[in-house]
């Protein structure tokens, strides 16, 4: 028997043991391949609960359908509540994933049908008749090219946890096991999930399952190592025009610079999951990111390197260092925080800055990108109508997850990035170059990257400690109000100016080095953009 045949046999045995005899017979016609995973010890609390086990099968990808069978422990309760999320972490928009669920049924392990009632858009109640476990069977339609939904097409599938897996509506940290079955001819299935053996994978809890997208199909897999840890660049779709080798080198260079900046790689392995398809966008995860890009080679082999650098930086800033409101998650209700200017905007600041420090873009290119950011902000009428703090608090109702603000709103991506630039310059100038925003982020990461999270006051306190000064007014004026931003520290410390237009700078925000830049200002600019040191 081939290794694939052994994997199919073992998966079928596991399914039969759970009462899936009929599913196993269908499963044997498929190729089942293991998902690449991160190995770590599960929490003791999670080990004490029986897992929910899923068998996910892609039988006819041209129909855009997944078949899902799940064994759900009941604890002997007469009724259980089931749910799907209404949002995905990192994408601040309510979505109706349950609308793509088809043919949902429930039965006992012996096959006796059970009554199932949809009580809300994303919730169901099952009468168990006292059975210790029940079997759910359903299909999921997936034909959307976004990083929070599913796409199943002829040669690949992009699968996300929130739109795929129905789970128990409970607070407990319960393991969730997944078996992936794919059609003959598909070669790989890869994710950040932990391996249980051939074709079986585990998330220690439901949040981890939602946080671990899966690519399946005919995959292009590249690998590099940084700090002794493997990194995989996994792609599907039309890669025509992509200089893969140069692109992977660019990612490796960025990871190396990130390691120097943060001082660690907080994972066993990392996956860049890339779908080359129409559209664009990315989403961060704890040990991976999923991005939609168009295959165009830029000067470093990848026109979309900036997007992937942003999503990679999120593994430090938001997946670990996070506002208190962003975890643990209630997937039935959207979390509200006023700190997305830090989680998104400052992430954009450091991903761009670290690309420059790594030599992936020139200093002139970086200043040009800042000119564009500042110009977009200063020419947006919404900056005078909504603070960046309110933009974060109101994101669920006023924009597409913070992107493309209206005339009455401001983008926390854009303004948060600019605030990162300005706060960094303020700290450097006030401390005469002894300290910087780099140290703020490192100290905040040290204090709040575990289970705690930070409040706005705690983040400000860290900044004040590094700046050795009271920043209450700066945060009030820049973050909590709609006052115009003060660029004085930024321009004076680095010896920069905005290019005048018709004798005025209003409306023209192109940065350039001043002709009378001093030697000290020149050193300040060079120090800011130099490779990271610890």
Who wins on pLDDT, 511 or 37? 511
Place of tokens 């860049």: 272
* Neighbouring C-beta atoms of residue 25, cutoff 10 Å: 12
Res 301 pLDDT > 80: no
Alpha-carbon distance values, 62 to 28, 59, 140, 372 (Å): 20, 9, 13, 42
- Across the range 431-444, mean pLDDT stands at 98
Statement: residue 212 has pLDDT above 80: yes
Mean pLDDT within 149-175: 96
Per the prediction, the chain carries an average pLDDT of: 89
Quote the pLDDT of residue 348.
98
95 to each of 85, 219, 396, how far by Cα in Å?
8, 28, 11
Indicate the DSSP class of residue 384: G
Amino acid 201: pLDDT: 82
Q: What does pTM read for this prediction?
A: 0.89
Task: List residues bridging with 159 in a β-sheet.
Answer: 214
pLDDT at 178: 94
> What integer pLDDT is reported at residue 222 of this predicted model?
96
The residue whose two tokens read 């088809």 is 102
What is the per-residue pLDDT across 42-61, written as a single tens digit (0 to 9) for each? Answer: 444 445 899 999 999 999 99
Stretch 445-473: mean pLDDT = 96
- CATH number among 3.30.2010.30, 1.10.630.10, 1.10.390.10, 3.40.1280.10, domain 316-529: 1.10.390.10
Check whether 334 has a pLDDT greater than 70. Answer: yes
Give which of 173, 350, 336 is closest to 258, Cα–Cα: 350
**CATH architecture of the domain covering 3-217:** Sandwich (2.60)
Which pLDDT belongs to residue 15? 38
Q: What percent of the chain has pLDDT over 90?
A: 78
**Matching CATH topology for 219-307 and 316-529?**
no
Contact present, 286 and 209 (Cβ < 8 Å): no
Q: Tens digit of pLDDT for each residue in 266-289?
A: 999 999 999 999 988 999 999 999
CATH of range 219-307; options 3.40.30.10, 3.30.429.10, 3.30.2010.30, 1.25.40.10: 3.30.2010.30
Predicted pLDDT at 31: 37
Counting every residue written for the chain, the total comes to: 534
pLDDT of residue 479: 98
Confidence of residue 502 (pLDDT cuts 50, 70, 90): low
Q: pLDDT band at 114, cuts 50/70/90?
A: very high
Please tell me the least confidently modeled range out of 387-396, 404-413, 494-503.
494-503
Strand order through the sheet with 288-293: 220-226, 229-237, 270-276, 288-293, 281-284
What pLDDT was estimated at residue 528?
98
User: Domain boundaries in the chain?
Assistant: 3-217, 219-307, 316-529
Place of tokens 């913070």: 402
Of 297 and 449, the one with more pLDDT: 449
From the list 428, 508, 513, 423, the residue with the least C-alpha distance to 473 is 423
Residue 405, pLDDT score: 80
| Residue 506, pLDDT score | 60
Tens of pLDDT, residues 3-30: 333 333 343 334 333 333 333 333 333 3
């Amino acid at each position: 028997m081939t290794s694939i045949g052994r994997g199919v046999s073992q998966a079928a045995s596991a399914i039969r043991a759970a009462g899936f005899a009929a599913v196993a017979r269908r499963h044997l016609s498929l190729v089942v391949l293991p998902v690449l995973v991160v190995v770590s010890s599960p929490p003791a609390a999670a080990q004490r609960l029986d897992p929910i086990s899923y068998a996910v099968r892609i039988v006819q990808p041209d129909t855009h359908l997944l078949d899902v069978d799940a064994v759900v422990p009941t604890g002997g309760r007469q009724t259980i509540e089931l749910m799907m999320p209404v949002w995905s972490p990192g994408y601040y928009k309510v979505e109706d994933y349950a609308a793509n669920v088809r043919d949902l049924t429930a039965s006992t392990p012996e096959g006796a049908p059970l009554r199932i009632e949809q009580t809300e858009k994303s919730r169901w109640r099952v009468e168990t008749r006292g059975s210790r476990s029940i079997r759910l069977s359903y299909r999921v339609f997936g034909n959307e090219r976004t990083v929070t939904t599913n796409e199943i097409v002829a040669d690949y599938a992009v699968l996300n946890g929130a739109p795929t897996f129905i789970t128990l509506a409970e607070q407990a940290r319960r393991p969730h096991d997944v078996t992936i079955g794919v059609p003959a001819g598909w070669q790989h299935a890869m994710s950040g999930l932990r391996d249980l053996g051939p074709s079986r994978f585990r998330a220690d809890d439901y949040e981890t399952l939602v946080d671990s997208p899966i690519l399946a199909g005919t995959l292009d897999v590249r690998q590099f190592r940084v700090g002794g840890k493997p990194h995989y660049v996994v792609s599907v779709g039309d890669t025509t025009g992509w200089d893969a080798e140069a692109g992977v080198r660019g990612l490796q260079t960025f990871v190396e610079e990130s390691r120097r900046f943060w001082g660690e790689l907080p994972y066993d392995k990392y996956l860049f999951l890339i779908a080359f398809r129409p559209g664009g966008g990315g989403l961060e995860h704890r040990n991976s990111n999923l991005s939609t890009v168009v295959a165009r080679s830029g000067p470093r082999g990848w026109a979309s390197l900036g997007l992937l650098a942003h999503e990679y930086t999120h593994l430090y800033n938001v997946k670990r260092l996070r506002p208190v409101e962003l975890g643990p998650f209630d997937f039935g209700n959207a979390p509200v925080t006023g700190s997305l200017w830090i989680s998104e905007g400052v992430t954009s600041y450091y991903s761009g800055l670290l690309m420059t420090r790594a030599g992936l873009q020139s200093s002139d290119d970086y200043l040009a990108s800042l000119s564009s950011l500042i110009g977009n902000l200063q020419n947006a009428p919404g900056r005078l109508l909504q603070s960046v703090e309110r933009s974060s608090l109101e994101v669920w109702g006023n924009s597409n997850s913070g992107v493309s603000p209206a005339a009455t709103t401001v983008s926390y991506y854009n303004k948060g990035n600019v605030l990162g630039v300005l706060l960094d310059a303020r700290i450097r100038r006030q401390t005469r170059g002894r300290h910087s925003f780099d140290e703020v982020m490192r100290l905040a990461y040290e204090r709040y990257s575990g289970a705690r999270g930070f409040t706005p006051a705690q983040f400000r306190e860290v900044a004040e400690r590094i700046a050795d000064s009271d920043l209450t007014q700066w945060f009030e004026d820049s973050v909590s109000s709609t006052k115009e931003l003060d660029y004085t520290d930024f321009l004076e410390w680095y010896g920069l100016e905005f290019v005048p237009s018709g004798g005025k700078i209003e409306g023209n925000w192109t940065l350039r080095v001043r002709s009378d830049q001093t030697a000290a200002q020149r050193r300040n600019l060079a120090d800011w953009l130099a490779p990271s040191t610890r």
